[in-house]
Amino acid sequence: MILVVDLCYRPGSLSAYEFVDPITAIIRGTGRDVRTCHSTQVDAALAGDAEAVILCGTALRDQEYAGYPDRFAWIRGCARPVFGICAGLQVIGRAFGGSLTACTEIGMTPVRVVRDDPLFADRASFEAYTLHSIALDPPAELEVLAVSGACVQAVRHRTRPIAGVLFHPEVRNPWVVERFLEYSLH
């Protein structure tokens, strides 16, 4: 079972239709079981029961998750693969001591791969849909995998199966989620 974590401002918000449901559809398309849970209900035990955890994005002005960094302390000790999308990347970065900075990108954005990684296979660049007003200044534990002209677009933990992207792969790049599951669960 893949645990999908809804980071939207409240459980059951309409934003889940845009940011959570497309991710669960991609996962189901790979033949895996999915469980969705709001971020206020996740703990280390629940995350530990999953094969992998995916932290979903939120709406542009929905930054409620950023006010509760302790809510995500379980990420530092999670033995399962963890993948963050947009707000999820920011949560991962903060869990390891990174900081958030203002950076707005909206729409299709050129992304350049700067480090070989199975997440992007043989791609040197691609177009991705971005929708954020905050970017991550990653800590030393996270290596930068891809960038746009404005900010870091993808990171990976140096020693653990933890990665994230700032863009929204559910819009135009579902292969990113599929690849994360493929290489992190085999």
Q: Write down the pLDDT at residue 69.
A: 74
Q: Write down the pLDDT at residue 14.
A: 78
Which residues are known to be catalytic?
86, 168, 170
Q: Write down the pLDDT at residue 45.
A: 67
Q: How far apart are CA 64 and CA 146, in angstroms?
A: 26
Q: Write down the pLDDT at residue 71.
A: 82
What residue ranges define each of the domains in the chain, with the CATH number in brackets?
Answer: 2-184 (3.40.50.880)
Q: Write down the pLDDT at residue 88.
A: 96
Q: Write down the pLDDT at residue 58.
A: 86
Q: Write down the pLDDT at residue 91.
A: 94
pLDDT tens across the length of the chain (186 residues): 999 999 988 788 878 899 999 999 999 999 999 999 999 888 766 767 899 999 998 877 777 777 777 888 889 988 899 999 999 999 999 999 999 999 999 999 999 999 999 999 889 999 999 999 999 999 999 999 999 999 999 999 999 999 999 999 999 999 999 999 999 887
Element (H, E) at 178: helix 174-184
